[in-house]
C-alpha cells in the first residue's frame, strides 16, 4: 500500500514548497518504508510506499512515461493480479501492483479501472491533454482528497497536507452542523464533503476527469450491476455459492509476506472471517494473531442475559478449534477514552463519534504492528452483508408484500426456537409493522436532533432536508424495520463507505499495515444485493446465510444462539465514571469554549454539570455520550494553528 499526493497547475508553475510541505508531512506522520517524487515546472507527484507484499519492495512510484507523456502514481493492493497478468499477456509474474495498473492504463485508458479488484486509488496526469484522472476502488477502501480551482488541482491520501499547502481554506460550516445533528455514528451526510470548504473526497466506484474547465464524475461500479457466474435457484445452492465466494474473498485478503492479525470478537462476522483465514494460513504453517477487547472495569450485570459484555470465554471456544490462532486480550490498560480523543483526531483528521471504540482499535493495530502483522482482518460490515437478516426486517418485508403464508411460517419457526409465545409475538410484530408503515409514509415530520444539548434554533439557518436530499442518507425518526427496497438502497449508500475508507486508510498508514474487511468485498456486496431477500432469514432463522454456512467452522453453541449479542467496549462509561473528578473540569471547559458555545443550549449544559458535580452515574451515560460528541468537535476545531 501507499500514500499518494501531488499538485498540477493548468496555467502556471507550481509552488516550490509543494515537496517540502507534502512529503515532509507524510514522512513525519505515517509509517511508510520509503518515499519518492517527481517534479517538473507545472506538476509534482509523490508516493510513500509500505512494504505490505513481496512485490512492493520493487515498486517504483510515481512514474513518468516520456513516450506517452503522462505521470502516474497509485496506492494499491490488487486482488486479481493473476487475471490482469493474463489479460495483459504479461509474463513477469512478480510485477509490482502499481506497474501492473500502469500497464493496464496504457492498454485501455481510464477504462482500465473496470478491470481492477482490490484496494486502490490512483492519479494520472495526461500532459498533452492537460487532463488529470483521479480514481478510487469500488468501495472507497483507500480515501483520496482533492482541492480544485481553475488554476490548480491538488490531491492527497491524507487531508492535512492539503490544508498545509492551501492555508486559506476555511471550515465547511454545513459539515460541522451535519456532524452535530446527524443521528447515529455517521459524522457527515454528503459523501464527498469534508470539514473544509473546497476540499472533497472521491466517492466509491467513481473516477474524476479534471481539466481547467471543470470536473466530470463517472460512476463505474455499483452493487446493483448484474451478478455474473451465479445461476442459483434454491436456498441450498445460494448457500453453497456464498461459502465458496466468501472463502475466495478472505483468501485474497491474506496477501502479505509478513504476519496476519484479526480484530476478533465472538460474533458471527469476525469469527467466520477468522476461522476461514486460520484454515488457509494453517496450510502455509502461518499463525493468525487474534486481538480481542475485554473490559478492564467490572461491568454491572445486564438485565438482558443475552448481552455479553466480556467475550473472552467465547472467543477462547473459537480459538481452541484452531491451533494456529494466537489469542491476545487487550483492555487499553484501563485508560478512559477521553484522553484518547486528541490522538484519534490526529489520525482521523476529522471529527468522529465513535470515541468509545477507537482507542481499543488503535491498541489492536499497535499490538499487531509490534507482532509484525502487515494485514489486520475484521468483519466490520458483516451486519449489512454476510450476517444480515434480522427477523423483524424479513417478516416486515413479507408482511408488507402480503406474503402472509410465508410470514406465518417464518414467525412460527422463530418463536419455536426462541421459546416465545407465537400469539404474543404475532400481536407485537403486527402492531410494530403497522406503526412503521405510518412512519415511512410520513415525510412531513419536523426533524429534531437527538442531542438534547444543542440549541433549539440550530436548524433555523441549516437546510437539513436539503442536506439529506443532496446526500444519500434517509431521514427517518426512530428504529424501523428494513424492507428489501431499503436494504438495497443501504448497500448502495456512498457516505458509509467513504467514512470507513477514511478510517481504514489513515489507521493503516499510521501503524504501517493494511486493514482488510472481506465482508465488504465488492463481490460480497454484489451477491447480497441480488440474493432473494427472504434468504437472509430463510425459514425464520435470523442471519441464515452465515449460520447455515459456518456449521463446520464455528462452535455450535455460539452459532445457534439466536438471541446472543456481544457488547463491545462495554466498560467505556464505567471508566469515565471512575475518573470523573478529573474529567469534569476538562469537559466543562471544552463545552463552554467560544468555538462550540454558539451551537449549545447553555441552560441544558449547565444543568448537566450542576447535577454531576459530585459524581457521574450510569444514568448519565446517554447525556454524556452527546456531550462527548460535542467535545470531539471542539477538540477538532482547536487543532494547533501550525496544522489548521
3-state SS, 388-439, equals CCCHHHHHHHHHHCCCHHHHHHHHHHHHHHHCCCHHHHHHHHHHHHHHHHHH
315 three-class SS: helix
Report CA-CA distances (Å) from 335 to 340, 468, 573. Answer: 8, 37, 11
Residue 364 CB contacts under 8 Å (≥ 6 apart), including other chains: 261, 263, 291, 293, 330, 376
| pLDDT for the residue 362 | 97
pLDDT in tens, 519-560: 999 999 999 999 999 999 999 999 999 999 999 999 999 999
C-alpha to C-alpha distance for 508 and 447, rounded to whole angstroms: 37
Helix (H) or strand (E) holding 87: helix 81-87
Average pLDDT score, the chain? 93
| pLDDT for the residue 642 | 42
- Work out the average pLDDT over 378-400: 96
Q: What band does 444 get if pLDDT is binned at 50, 70 and 90? A: low
**Domain definitions of the chain by residue range:** 2-159+196-219, 235-335+345-387+494-566, 391-491, 574-637
pLDDT in tens, 575-600: 999 999 999 999 999 999 999 999 99
| pLDDT for the residue 640 | 67
pLDDT in tens, 203-226: 999 999 999 899 999 999 999 999
Helix (H) or strand (E) holding 521: none
pLDDT in tens, 446-469: 677 889 999 988 888 888 878 877
| pLDDT for the residue 443 | 64
CB-CB contact of 630 with 600 (8 Å): yes
| pLDDT for the residue 15 | 77
pLDDT in tens, 479-523: 889 999 999 999 999 999 999 999 999 999 999 999 999 999 999
Percent of the chain exceeding pLDDT 90 equals: 84
Q: What band does 476 get if pLDDT is binned at 50, 70 and 90? A: low
Q: What band does 641 get if pLDDT is binned at 50, 70 and 90? A: very low
Q: What band does 129 get if pLDDT is binned at 50, 70 and 90? A: very high
How big is the CA angle at 115 (ends 224 and 209), to the nearest 5 degrees?
A: 85
Least confident range from 151-160, 417-426, 468-477: namely: 468-477
Phi, psi angle pair for 568, to nearest 5°:
-85, 145
Phi-psi domain of 182 (left: phi exceeds 0; alpha: psi -120 through 50; beta: other):
beta
Q: Nearest Cα to 311, choosing from 348, 355, 274, 362? A: 274
Q: What band does 140 get if pLDDT is binned at 50, 70 and 90? A: very high
Equal fold, 2-159+196-219 vs 235-335+345-387+494-566 = no
Model confidence, pTM: 0.95
Judge whether residue 643 has pLDDT over 60: no
Q: Per the structure block, which three cell numbers stand in for 536?
A: 437472509
CATH number of 2-159+196-219: 3.60.20.10
Judge whether residue 250 has pLDDT over 50: yes
- Work out the average pLDDT over 432-445: 82
**Among positive and negative, which fits the CA dihedral 93, 96, 101, 107?**
negative
pLDDT in tens, 303-358: 677 888 899 999 999 999 999 999 999 999 999 999 999 999 999 999 999 999 99
| pLDDT for the residue 567 | 84
| pLDDT for the residue 14 | 84
| pLDDT for the residue 569 | 87
Q: What band does 81 get if pLDDT is binned at 50, 70 and 90? A: very high
Specify whether domain 235-335+345-387+494-566 bears CATH 3.40.50.620: yes
Q: Nearest Cα to 560, choosing from 576, 572, 544? A: 544
Amino acid at each position: 500500500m501507499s500514500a499518494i499526493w501531488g499538485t498540477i497547475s493548468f496555467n502556471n508553475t507550481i509552488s516550490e514548497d509543494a515537496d517540502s510541505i507534502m512529503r515532509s508531512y507524510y514522512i513525519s506522520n505515517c509509517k511508510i518504508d520509503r518515499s519518492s517524487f517527481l517534479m517538473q515546472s507545472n506538476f509534482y507527484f509523490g508516493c510513500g510506499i509500505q512494504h505490505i507484499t513481496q512485490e512492493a519492495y520493487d515498486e517504483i512510484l510515481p512514474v513518468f512515461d516520456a513516450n506517452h507523456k503522462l505521470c502516474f502514481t497509485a496506492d494499491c493492493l490488487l486482488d486479481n493480479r493473476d487475471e490482469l497478468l493474463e489479460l495483459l499477456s504479461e509474463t513477469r509474474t512478480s510485477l509490482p501492483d502499481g506497474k501492473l495498473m500502469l500497464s493496464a492504463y496504457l492498454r485501455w485508458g481510464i477504462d482500465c479501472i473496470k478491470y481492477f479488484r482490490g484496494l486502490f486509488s490512483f492519479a494520472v496526469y495526461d500532459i498533452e491533454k492537460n487532463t488529470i484522472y483521479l480514481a478510487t476502488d469500488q468501495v472507497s477502501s483507500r480515501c483520496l482528497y482533492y482541492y480544485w480551482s481553475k488554476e490548480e488541482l491538488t490531491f492527497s491520501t491524507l487531508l492535512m497536507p492539503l490544508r498545509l499547502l492551501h492555508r486559506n481554506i476555511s471550515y465547511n460550516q454545513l459539515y460541522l452542523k451535519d456532524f452535530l445533528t446527524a443521528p447515529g455514528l455517521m459524522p457527515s451526510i454528503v459523501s464527498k464533503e469534508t470539514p473544509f470548504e473546497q476540499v472533497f473526497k472521491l466517492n466509491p466506484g467513481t473516477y474524476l476527469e479534471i481539466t481547467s474547465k471543470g470536473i466530470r464524475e463517472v460512476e463505474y461500479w455499483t452493487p446493483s450491476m448484474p451478478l455474473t457466474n451465479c445461476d442459483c435457484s434454491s436456498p441450498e445452492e445460494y448457500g453453497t455459492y456464498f461459502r465458496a465466494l466468501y472463502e475466495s474473498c478472505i483468501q485474497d485478503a491474506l496477501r502479505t509476506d509478513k504476519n496476519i492479525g484479526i480484530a476478533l470478537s465472538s460474533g458471527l462476522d469476525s469469527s467466520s472471517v477468522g476461522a476461514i483465514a486460520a484454515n488457509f494460513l494453517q496450510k502455509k504453517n502461518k499463525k493468525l494473531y487474534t486481538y480481542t477487547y475485554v473490559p478492564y472495569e467490572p461491568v454491572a450485570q445486564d438485565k438482558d442475559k443475552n448481552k455479553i459484555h466480556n467475550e473472552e470465554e467465547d472467543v477462547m471456544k473459537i480459538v481452541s478449534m484452531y491451533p494456529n490462532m494466537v489469542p491476545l486480550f487487550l483492555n487499553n490498560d484501563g485508560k478512559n477514552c477521553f484522553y484518547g480523543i486528541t490522538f484519534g483526531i490526529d489520525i482521523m483528521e476529522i471529527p468522529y463519534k465513535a470515541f468509545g471504540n477507537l482507542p481499543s482499535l488503535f491498541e489492536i493495530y499497535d499490538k499487531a504492528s509490534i507482532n509484525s502483522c502487515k494485514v489486520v482482518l475484521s468483519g466490520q460490515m458483516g451486519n449489512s452483508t454476510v450476517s444480515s437478516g434480522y427477523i423483524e426486517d424479513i417478516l416486515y418485508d413479507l408482511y408488507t408484500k402480503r406474503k402472509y403464508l410465508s410470514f406465518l411460517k417464518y414467525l412460527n419457526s422463530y418463536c419455536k426456537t426462541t421459546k416465545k409465545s407465537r400469539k404474543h409475538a404475532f400481536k407485537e410484530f403486527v402492531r410494530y409493522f403497522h406503526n412503521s408503515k405510518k412512519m415511512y409514509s410520513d415525510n412531513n415530520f419536523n426533524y429534531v436532533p437527538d442531542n438534547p444539548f444543542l440549541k433549539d434554533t440550530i436548524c433555523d439557518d441549516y437546510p437539513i432536508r436539503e442536506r439529506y436530499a443532496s446526500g444519500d442518507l434517509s431521514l427517518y425518526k426512530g428504529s424501523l424495520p428494513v424492507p428489501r427496497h431499503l436494504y438495497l438502497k443501504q448497500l448502495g449508500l456512498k457516505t458509509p463507505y467513504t467514512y470507513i475508507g477514511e478510517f481504514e486508510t489513515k489507521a493503516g498508514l499510521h501503524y504501517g499495515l493494511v486493514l482488510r474487511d472481506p465482508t465488504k468485498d465488492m463481490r460480497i456486496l454484489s451477491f447480497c444485493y441480488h440474493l432473494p431477500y427472504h434468504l437472509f432469514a430463510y425459514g425464520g432463522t435470523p442471519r441464515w446465510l452465515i449460520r447455515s454456512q459456518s456449521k463446520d467452522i464455528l462452535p455450535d453453541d455460539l452459532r445457534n444462539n439466536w438471541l446472543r449479542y456481544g457488547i463491545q467496549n462495554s466498560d467505556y462509561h464505567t471508566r469515565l465514571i471512575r475518573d470523573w473528578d478529573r474529567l469534569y473540569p476538562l469537559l466543562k471547559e471544552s463545552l463552554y469554549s467560544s468555538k462550540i458555545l454558539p451551537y449549545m443550549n447553555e441552560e441544558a449544559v449547565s444543568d448537566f454539570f450542576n447535577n454531576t458535580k459530585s459524581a457521574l452515574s450510569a444514568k448519565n451515560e446517554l447525556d454524556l455520550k452527546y456531550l462527548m460528541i460535542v467535545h470531539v468537535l471542539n477538540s477538532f476545531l482547536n487543532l494547533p494553528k501550525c496544522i489548521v
